[in-house]
Structure 1
Amino acid sequence: MINITQLEVHTHEGRALVQPFDFHLKKGEIVGIFGESGSGKTISTQAMLNLLPSALVSRSIKKIVEDRNLDMLSPREYRKLIGLDVGYIPQNTTEFLHPLVKIKHQMLEGYVTHQCGTKKQGLKRATELLELVGLNNPKKILNGYVFELSGGMRQRVNIALSLMTKPRIIILDEPTTALDSITEHEVMEFFKNINQEEGVSLILITHNMKLIEKYTDRAYVFYQGEMVETNDTKMLFSEPYHPHTRALVQVTHGEEVR
């Protein structure tokens, strides 16, 4: 699904933010990207899909998504690939949703643009998805604005939005930050079911090692702009080799850090 070789991120002035690393995602996998704030995990994922902010640039030897070389695609081909096949749930729900556009128009935009169906069909799917993620009165939400929603409701809207075009890959960037522990469990189980029943591949970006341990098949650990360790999740927790990873595993398991 994704195959990246020697990807790095830096500023236009040449200051390195993420050291070169390799990444791959197989069909049906749940892969975790763990790191503390500022470790480079989010911008690394953005760089994989050519979604970096304009102030940053990336380099790589190979960047393949869905058997397509991203750097060789035309703008139209790129928009179609990313718009249809990749769903993205951001960490900052307030900035991601437009404050002056009704929720229904934001949910319909990609669906209609990529010709997934008519507006009527899109509204039906949006309503069903909002119900699926546990939001009551979806019609009221669709006709409302982001400032009328709580943080948890915005996150659920983003989850529904990410599913509108039936993507094959979904990126979850700190998907449970605005949620309480009960809702966190419900959301993660929801995505686990999508992964198991529909074969959707997931990338979970988080600073929560417990989520990595419970839900992922493989994981990458970032520390100070460098990918310091990667392994199958069970091996990562049973035999971590990098000091930073060992310390994190000990804290996660309630052990004394040595």
Structure 2
Amino acid sequence: MASSSAAADDESFSRYDFPPGFVFGSATSAYQVEGAADEDGRTPSIWDTFAHAGYVHGATGDVACDGYHKYKEDVQLMVETGLDAYRFSISWGPVNPKGIQPHVTLYNFDLPQDLEDEYGGWVSRKIVKDFTAYAEVCFREFGDRVQYWATINEPNVFAIGGYDQGIAPPMRCSPPFGFRNCSNGNSTSEPYLAVHNILLSHASAAKLYRKNFQTKQQGFIGINVYTFGTLPLTNATEDVVAAKRSNDFLLGW
């Protein structure tokens, strides 16, 4: 059987044990921290719909950590903590002329509800064109201040939670896989279809950035994938194969 590697208990580790250039930072997503749910032209996402339907025990992101108003205090806390970088996500929606700043994620699970209603969101190939158009606006508006772009955050987690288990928006799944009583979706095919369209969207946005913006803005672009180290419990062939299979299901797809 496979076993996740445990963190070392040795408290003598410090940042100087890491290689030069290793970046220590923190990360958030827009809906988890911003609040200001109906300010400055913001429109609902699938997470607003999910939370307001009561699926997270009455909690919503309407106020959250109030990061939209407290960003200066948050940045000061990061400075005091000694962080090198801050990765946050932009809330996909109508253009808001008010500002922001560095390691930027373009999509962190908060798809505009209008796109979900119009054509099914990530299960439709139409999403590629819309995501690329959204990414282009961000590159154009913020690229003079942002050098590090992540197109999409944790597509594997998003696909499993939203299209296999149905425990996160857009809550699509089918028996016997779904953790909820799913009324629509297909757990056998839709997680793979969603990730396929996510990867196409990532490729399209990355190609656009490299072609039209990178030379002038001197930035970098990639994608964030959720992972942890999975090692064989023993050197037995069965354990080695199990660890590889676990990594393939988490990362390989």
> TM above 0.5, one fold?
no
In terms of fraction of residues, the more strand-rich structure is: 1
Q: Please, what TM-score do these two structures have when normalized by structure 2? A: 0.29
Q: Which one has more relative contact order, counting CA pairs under 8 Å at least 6 apart?
A: 1
